[in-house]
Amino acid sequence: MRFSEAWLRELVNPNISTQVLVDQLTMAGLEVDGFQPVAVEFTDVVVGEILAVETHPGADKLVICTVDNGIEKLQVVCGAPNAREGIKVPFANIGAEFPELKIKKAKLRGVESNGMLCSELELGLSDNNEGLLELAADAPVGADIRDYLGLNDVIIDLDLTPNRSDCLSILGLARET
């Protein structure tokens, strides 16, 4: 059984780390197979809004987007097929760090790009790299994407035995915490 640590902490929130919580569940007789973060570690990614899109003068498959990151309006070169005016998407500011990438100011085919618009793949949410991750129209521009999408959570994986059917629900797990 897999469950969200954040969901469990809505019911009971002991002031302990994830590792100590997992150890307590193990001591209660539950077999914890492991735990992992919901998304990969990354920093400085916010909700951005694409304000304008124009064609790239030097490339057929690239566009130049004007993006509002909540602080300023920036020019970003993007190759996603769904990049269009008016949508809200995850935006990695210059200096943002991903597991194997640090975002820097760059020139793509002669046009300056000041950040990166992100797909689900870059955020570690899925293998989908078909286009940008489109957010709800009411997403607050400039909000930290980890907070907005609830990505600071951990998924805990239990292997429940038949004698612990009382823990087949989140309420049963809360009683054991």
pLDDT tens across 146-169, in order?
Answer: 999 999 999 999 998 888 888 888
The contacts found for 18-27 with CB under 8 angstroms, 24 or more apart, are: 18/154, 18/156, 21/156, 21/177, 22/156, 24/176, 24/177, 25/156, 25/158, 25/173, 25/176, 25/177
13 pLDDT band, cuts 50/70/90, is: confident
pLDDT tens across 37-80, in order?
Answer: 988 889 999 999 999 999 998 888 899 999 999 999 999 999 99
pLDDT at residue 111 in the model: 86
The DSSP line for 112-149 is EE-SEE--TTTTTS-S--SS--PBPTTPPTT-BHHHHH
Distance CA 158, CA 25 (A): 9
Distance CA 13, CA 30 (A): 19
Q: Model pTM greater than 0.85?
A: no
Q: Kindly list the structural domains of the chain, giving each domain's residue range(s) and its CATH number in brackets, ordered by start.
A: 2-38+153-176 (3.30.56.10), 45-146 (2.40.50.140)
pLDDT at residue 95 in the model: 95
Query: Mean pLDDT of all residues in the chain?
Result: 92
